[in-house]
Amino acid sequence: MNASMQTDLKKLRLSGMAQCLEVRLQEATNNHLSHGEFLELIVQDELLIRQDRLIERRIKAAGFRDLKTLDAFDWQFNTSIKKKQIFDLATCQFIRQQQDVLLLGPPGVGKSHLCQALGYTAIKAGFTVRYRSIFDVVRDFLSDEAMGGQDRVLNAYLKPDLLIIDDMGIKQLPKRSGEYLFEIIMRRYELKSTIMTSNRPLEDWGKLLADVPSATAILDRFMHHAEIIIITGRSYRLKDRAAAATKTKEATPNEK
């Protein structure tokens, strides 16, 4: 294939086709493909590459802390997690139905891994996703107010098909946090889906937000169509540390 053909394909923004064309030409010759069969192959190549690039852009835009998958989750460590329930969520039907999800449990049991893995699954299913910790949410709104953003940040939280707000309950939040969170939940209510994670029971949210009325209003809307997943058990992050400590103890001679 000559250089001018490569150039023309790139001008037409068919770089995926240009990338695969040489191989497909050889394949067509070797297998005596018809013109229609050859055309179908190179069109599919272009579509697949565009889809891969779209997924890459959406992953970057989501802002995941780590790229997690359900396949990489250790289901054997914490048997309190119902695998079927998580994989039902991975079908993304809850997003199509504008429903919400709440993951409740102590630190280290896999909430962040699961919510980010569900976000990644949603992106592969064609949805847009935004992932933020609750502390990022508050910082974003405080910065927006300081810079006179005129709802720029709020719009960024309302736009995605799935919003994931992680780490609720690690520590008490700054003043007005309840107002910011309420605005997000209220505006997304019955229109878009939200996943939240928390290591504190719902009755503590008023103290965390330092705003009992806002916490009540948030939970009233969020819990209306939410699926609640309660996770118990030990911290996965402390598992390796405990195992290492046991090995060290066994290797150390007993003192007399």
Residues of the chain above pLDDT 70, percent: 90
Q: Which is higher by pLDDT, 196 or 6?
A: 196
pLDDT at 20 over 70: yes
Which tokens in the block code for residue 113? 């891994």
d(CA 210, CA 176): 8
Does residue 256 surpass a pLDDT of 50? no
Query: Phi, psi (5° rounding) for residue 167?
Result: 75, 25
Percent helix / strand / coil, the chain, rounded to 5 = 55, 10, 30
Tell me the average pLDDT across 136-153: 81
The answer to which of 94-103, 124-133, 136-145, 230-239 has the lowest mean pLDDT is 230-239
Read off φ and ψ for residue 14, nearest 5 degrees.
-115, 50
Average pLDDT over residues 56-65: 96
* Per-residue pLDDT at 250: 53
Residue 113 or 243, more confident: 113
pLDDT digits (tens, 9 = 90+) for 157-210: 999 999 999 999 878 888 889 999 999 999 999 999 999 999 999 999 998 898
CA distance 25 to 21: 6
Task: Sort strands 162-168 and 193-198 into parallel, antiparallel or unpaired.
Answer: parallel
Mean pLDDT of the 118-143 span: 95
Taking residues 42-70, what's their average pLDDT?
93
DSSP string over 13-48: T-HHHHHHHHHHHHHHHHHT--HHHHHHHHHHHHHH
Give the domains, in start order, of the chain with CATH numbers. 3-62 (no CATH), 83-236 (3.40.50.300)
State the pLDDT confidence band at 73, using cuts at 50, 70 and 90: very high
Given this model, what pLDDT does residue 15 score?
82
